[in-house]
Amino acid sequence: MSWQSLPKVELHLHFEGAAPPSFIRGLAKEKNVDLSKIFDENGGYRYENFDHFLEVYEAATSVLQTPEDFALLCDAVLEQSREQGVVYTETFLSPEFCGGADVAAWKEYLHAIEEAAARGEAQGITLKGCVTAIRHFGPDRAKKTAACAAETVGDFITGFGLAGAEMMGRPGDFAYSFDMAREAGLRLTAHAGEWGGPDMVADTIRDLKVERIGHGINAIKDASLVKQIAEQGITLEVCPGSNVFLNAVESWDKHPIQRLRDAGVNVTVSTDDPPFFHTTMTEEYNMLEKTFGWGEDDFREVNRVALNAAFCDSATKERIA
């Protein structure tokens, strides 16, 4: 069966990380920026490892300069997701890349992105934004990002998150920003346990009080933590293709998604940064079918779990279900 047409819910998609390489190349040409070293001979993104990926990611992002650039990117990302049968998606947006985490500038970028999201809505795909701090930029810059999030919480901006180099600092360094976001009414998620061990996941839950974890896969190394995650109903935004491509997990058959699900954890499936990892939502589903024998009932269940954990309001959930 082809899974392309199955209606899908995606919770973990980095906005800039979803940019097709051709889109970034086009902007680079228009703006006279030499980005040749970030592309391979086939025109895809080229990088050696996770740290290098983050550098290439930021280089690609450097050509996204105006609100209009972000609006066009939004059109391209939604078109790409719609082709994969995605009906609802949440995307990580970084005010750092939209005017340097200045509230007034951020509002202008956001306005342009929201207009594009409304165009997507008319085409049958709902987009919500999760403002995301970047760990390796440090806790002080995260506070500025949290202020941007707190100033724009609403129907579109519903969440606050943390991405970037996981091994820099500890989750508690970002507690101030997460407290600010929570008090503003935002729902919370943070990357943890993609590279860090179970301690990083446990500290993230304790110190940042998140209800979802980006990746979280290394929780599998601590059975009592897995039990805690299941009992607390914390949802994992699992991105298996990303984990295998970046070597966070050795191979698809060693991926812990099945074991986490069997342990009663709320498991969802996303692509992370699809063109960077040569994946799509359909490809993730194909590989889950091939590796673990998942079928239509499994995918429908995973999508129910994702919609339940989504950061939109209940009226939106009822419309999409």
Interface ranges with Zn ion (CB under 5 A): 272
Q: Which residues share a beta bridge with 238? A: 269
Q: Which of 21, 85, 129, 164 binds ligand ADE (CB under 6 A)?
A: 164
Q: Which of 194, 231, 237, 301 is catalytic?
A: 194
What region does 32 belong to: left with phi over 0, alpha with psi -120 to 50, or beta? left
**Residue 273 found at the interface with ligand ADE (CB under 6 A):** yes
Residue by residue, what is the 3-state secondary structure of 73-90?
HHHHHHHHHHHCCEEEEE
Q: Is 272 in the site for ligand ADE (CB under 6 A)?
A: yes
The answer to whether 194 is a known catalytic residue is yes
Structure tokens at 170: 């500890």
Who's near 199: CB < 8 A, 6+ residues apart? none
- The one among 84, 242, 279, 282 contacting ligand ADE by CB under 6 A: 242
Q: Which of the choices Zn ion, ligand ADE, none does residue 164 contact, using the CB cut-off of 5 to 8 A by kind?
A: ligand ADE
CB of 237 to Zn ion, least distance (A): 8
Pick from 14, 141, 212, 255 the residue near ligand ADE by CB under 6 A.
14
Would you say 95 or 164 has its CB closer to ligand ADE?
164
Q: Which residue is nearest to ligand ADE (CB)?
A: 163
Does residue 90 touch ligand ADE according to CB under 6 A?
no
Tokens of 149: 């999030």
Q: Work out whether 12 is an interface residue with ligand ADE (CB under 6 A).
A: no
Residue nearer to Zn ion on the CB measure, 114 or 272: 272
Decide: is 271 part of the binding site for ligand ADE (CB under 6 A).
Answer: no
Burial 10-45 (b: 16+ CB within 10 A, else e): bbbbbbbbbbbbebbbebbeeeeeebeebbeeeeeb
Cα–Cα nearest to 269, from 11, 4, 79? 11
Nearer to ligand ADE, 6 or 287 (CB): 287
Q: Are 257 and 240 in contact (CB under 8 A)?
A: yes
Q: What's CA 163's distance to the chain center, in Å?
A: 8
CB of 191 to Zn ion, least distance (A): 6
Amino acid identity at 126: T
CB of 218 to ligand ADE, least distance (A): 13
**3-state SS, residue 237:** strand
Query: Per the structure block, which two tokens stand in for 232?
Result: 């607390």
The helix/strand/coil state of 12 is strand
Binding mask 195-234 for ligand ADE (x = CB under 6 A): ----------------------------------------
Specify the residue, 272 or 284, whose C-beta has the smaller distance to ligand ADE.
272
Nearest to 127 by CA among 106, 148, 113, 145: 113
Question: Out of 10, 96, 194, 284, which residue is the one contacting ligand ADE (CB under 6 A)?
Answer: 194
Q: How far apart are CA 114 and CA 128, in angstroms?
A: 9
Find the binder of ligand ADE among 8, 191, 212, 255 (CB under 6 A): 191
Q: Which is nearer to ligand ADE, 8 or 191 (CB)?
A: 191
17 binds, among Zn ion, ligand ADE, none (CB under 5 to 8 A by kind): ligand ADE
Residue 295's alpha-carbon distances to 26, 52, 265, 299, in angstroms, are 39, 36, 19, 6
Using CB under 6 A as the binding rule, whether residue 17 contacts ligand ADE is answered as yes
113: which 2 tokens? 């992105």
The one of Zn ion, ligand ADE, none whose footprint includes residue 21, by CB under 5 to 8 A per kind, is none
**Interatomic CA distance for residues 246 and 257, integer angstroms:** 16
Residues that bind ligand ADE (CB under 6 A): 14, 17, 57, 163-164, 191, 194, 242, 272-273
Residues forming the active site: 194
